[in-house]
Amino acid sequence: MEYTVKDLGGGVAVLHLDGRLNMTSAARLREAVTSTVANGHPRIAVDLANVDFMDSSGLGALISGLKTARQAGGDLRIAAPSEQVKLVLQLTNMERVLLAHERAETAFSG
């Protein structure tokens, strides 16, 4: 999995993920969130448009990111999940914790 960070200003950053969010990439996502928060962006929109697969480890990393963001007084929101990702969110009831937004860029402007 690859990722890029885009600064939207006002403490908001978009985290574009590309690839599979699984056991081997979960740690990297966790680090990405931590460093983005540490760089002064406690409000993170995770763009899942290019994530075609997520397993329980990947989900765990998202929730752990949510915790990190909340502890810094911010939030973590997700955008554009694929069908498979939506399925995992539904199965775990996490769709109620991580509301899916249509576009990452507008996740914090609503």
Query: What does the binding site for other proteins look like in residue numbers (CB under 8 A)?
Result: 20, 22-27, 53, 55-57, 59-60, 63-64, 66-67, 70-71, 88, 91-94, 96-97
CB of 26 to other proteins, least distance (A): 8
- The strand pairing partners of 17, in sequence order, are 3
Q: Are 26 and 17 contacting, i.e. CB atoms less than 8 angstroms apart?
A: no
For residue 88, the minimal CB distance to other proteins (Å) is 7
Strand order in the sheet with 100-101: 2-9, 12-21, 43-54, 75-79, 100-101
Nearer to other proteins, 8 or 82 (CB): 82
